[in-house]
Amino acid sequence: MGHQEILWKRPGCRPLAEPHLCHLHCFIRCFIRCFIAIGVQKQRGKDGSYTTYPARRPPAPKHCAAIPRTGKCVYYTARRQPEMKRSFSMRIQSHFCLPVRPAFNLQRLLSMMFALLLSSAALAQHNWDKILEQARGQTVYMTAWGGSESVNDFLYWAGQQLDKNYGIRLHHVKVTNISSVISRMTAESRARRRHGGAIDLLWINGENFRTLYSKGLLYAPFVTDLPNWRFVDAQANPGLVNDAGMPTEGAEAPWGLARLVFMYDKNHIENPPQSAAQLLRFCRTHPGRFTYPAPPDFVGTAFLEQLLTELIKDPSRLQQPTSMGDKDFKQITKPLWAFLDKLHPYLWHAGHSFPLSSSAMKPLLNDGALDIAITFNPAEATASIREGTLPASTATYTHASGTLGNTHFLAIPKNSSSRAAALVTINFLLSPGAQRRKANPELWGDPTVLSLDRLPPHERQAFLKLPHNPAGLDIEKLGPGLPEPHPSWARALKQSWLQHYQAG
């Protein structure tokens, strides 16, 4: 059988102004046609031979390439020459239904694809320039935890830089519990307030993100549109695009890393407990010298999750959704409640009252009322010594089997009043300069989310020259990181803890 081909023609087609763009347009349309085709049909030609083509195909584009010698719009959907050995480019053309013309080859295709990438980059830069223009003069109301002077000072510095370089005013709305903010956003949604929301930027993660995202209250996706996203390696660190086991799908940008750590005074303790079992023995030997924040405090709930992860035989079960009424939840958490029943009589105030937050534990550690305090910031001890809120003899440790780690994120409410300025603010907070300042243990000490391998050489060297974290733990000394349970476990543990120890 000789050379066979089937042509799709569209009468009256006009070629585009740029021939190479016209052929690229045809390629994209045919590529899509190839993948949406369902099944194959046969058509019998006048010579009695059959030619196959996709059973389902979209209409031809309004504008397509004009083949130079014929002036006709042509799609080559198959090109078969059984008598001769086909070249690699011909096999590619036949398999992917490429729009071909005389002298078509893969080098030309790759050149066109490269041109498309350059055009996309130019378009992205143009769009970002428009966002920068819109953001100038706007005010961003950023809701974030206000219980740390290091965090507050950093955001004050960030506000100065944003005002100076972009004309954006950053207002830090300090909160102690983000749950109140979630309730406010939910109320605005019920009132159908789609624009002019009171919050422009959120510092969230875990269950709070899951709640807002499931209700459609977050602007998404936006992360990959940020120019500084190129410095983030999500493939090497999947936790940057997954929040407590839930894909973020571009609805929040990673801002920093965190680990559950314990602070203690070296003058009082020589060998701190490094497991749940050792902690129970320590408390029996030193009654009243340890406690933990009461749930629903985030750190207090994380402490419960840490204990549960250590106490059960199969921690992978914590990655599955649960609820307080599930039989599996009751069965899995039995070791936790049995452990806490043994622990509470030896806690501070005999377990009858608890600090309301992890920040409330620092004064107790500073005054000597406690020997151990809990935090989710590996550099908290160093920052607190600098601020004078903890003694110079304070040090940090983790459990030998590892402790819970997570990523904290920034998100934009869908009804934000200053969306453009919020995008610019997040992009600035992801910049190497801002991330380096945040990672400095003398200023905050929050680990960076940027990949040092993706940074320019001078930026990489600047990170490597950061001061040592004397009272805290550097990344390489944190030990194994344990995955956070599914967000539903935090909610169920809070409710169950309140039922066990706060009812009545």
Q: What pLDDT score was predicted for residue 197?
A: 84
In angstroms, the CA 501 to CA 504 distance is 9
Q: Which residue has the higher pLDDT, 401 or 471?
A: 401
**Structure-derived torsion over alpha carbons of residues 436, 201, 362, 240, reported in degrees to the nearest 10:** -50
| Whether residue 183 has pLDDT greater than 90 | no
Eight-state DSSP code of residue 452: G
For helices 334-343 and 487-501, give the axis angle rounded to 10 degrees: 40
| Whether residue 66 has pLDDT greater than 60 | no
Q: What pLDDT score was predicted for residue 68?
A: 42
Q: Which residue has the higher pLDDT, 398 or 30?
A: 398
Q: Please give the share of the chain, as a percent, with pLDDT higher than 90.
A: 50
**Structure-derived torsion over alpha carbons of residues 240, 408, 144, 320, reported in degrees to the nearest 10:** 110
Nearest to residue 421, comparing CAs of 250, 182, 121, 165?
165
pLDDT confidence of 272, banded at 50, 70, 90?
very high
Q: Which residue has the higher pLDDT, 98 or 387?
A: 387
Q: What is the three-class DSSP state of 395?
A: strand
Q: Which residue has the higher pLDDT, 85 or 138?
A: 138
Q: What pLDDT score was predicted for residue 114?
A: 60
Q: Give the burial class of 170: count Cβ atoms within 10 A of its Cβ; 0-12 exposed, 13-18 middle, 19 or more buried.
A: buried
**Structure-derived torsion over alpha carbons of residues 334, 331, 261, 452, reported in degrees to the nearest 10:** 170
- The mean per-residue pLDDT over the stretch 467-482 comes to 75
Q: What is the three-class DSSP state of 429?
A: helix
Q: What pLDDT score was predicted for residue 55?
A: 44
Q: Which residue has the higher pLDDT, 429 or 28?
A: 429
In angstroms, the CA 186 to CA 184 distance is 5
pLDDT confidence of 117, banded at 50, 70, 90?
low
Which of 26-40, 72-86, 457-471 is predicted least confidently? 72-86
Q: Which two tokens stand for residue 215?
A: 């209700």
| Whether residue 172 has pLDDT greater than 90 | yes
Cis peptide bond upstream of 296, omega within 30? yes
Domains defined for the chain, CATH in brackets: 4-114 (no CATH), 137-258+410-470 (3.40.190.10), 261-405+484-501 (3.40.190.10)
Task: Write out pLDDT tens, residues 240-263.
Answer: 998 877 889 999 999 998 899 999
- The mean per-residue pLDDT over the stretch 85-91 comes to 48
| Whether residue 382 has pLDDT greater than 60 | yes
- The mean per-residue pLDDT over the stretch 83-90 comes to 46
Q: Which residue has the higher pLDDT, 135 or 235?
A: 135
Which of 122-126, 136-140, 306-310 is predicted least confidently? 122-126
pLDDT confidence of 162, banded at 50, 70, 90?
very high
| Whether residue 451 has pLDDT greater than 80 | yes
Task: Write out pLDDT tens, residues 331-352.
Answer: 999 999 999 999 999 999 999 9
Share the mean pLDDT of the chain.
Answer: 80
- Is residue 135 within 8 Å of residue 424, measured between CB atoms? yes
- Is residue 396 within 8 Å of residue 381, measured between CB atoms? yes
- Is residue 248 within 8 Å of residue 242, measured between CB atoms? yes
Strand 246-247 relative to strand 242-243, pairing: antiparallel
Handedness of CA 433, 375, 235, 128 (dihedral sign): negative
pLDDT confidence of 37, banded at 50, 70, 90?
very low
Q: What pLDDT score was predicted for residue 146?
A: 87
pLDDT confidence of 126, banded at 50, 70, 90?
low
Q: Which residue has the higher pLDDT, 102 or 446?
A: 446
pLDDT confidence of 116, banded at 50, 70, 90?
low
Q: What pLDDT score was predicted for residue 76?
A: 38
| Whether residue 8 has pLDDT greater than 70 | no
Q: What pLDDT score was predicted for residue 108?
A: 61
- The mean per-residue pLDDT over the stretch 264-281 comes to 94
Q: Which two tokens stand for residue 462?
A: 């600047």
- Is residue 478 within 8 Å of residue 378, measured between CB atoms? yes
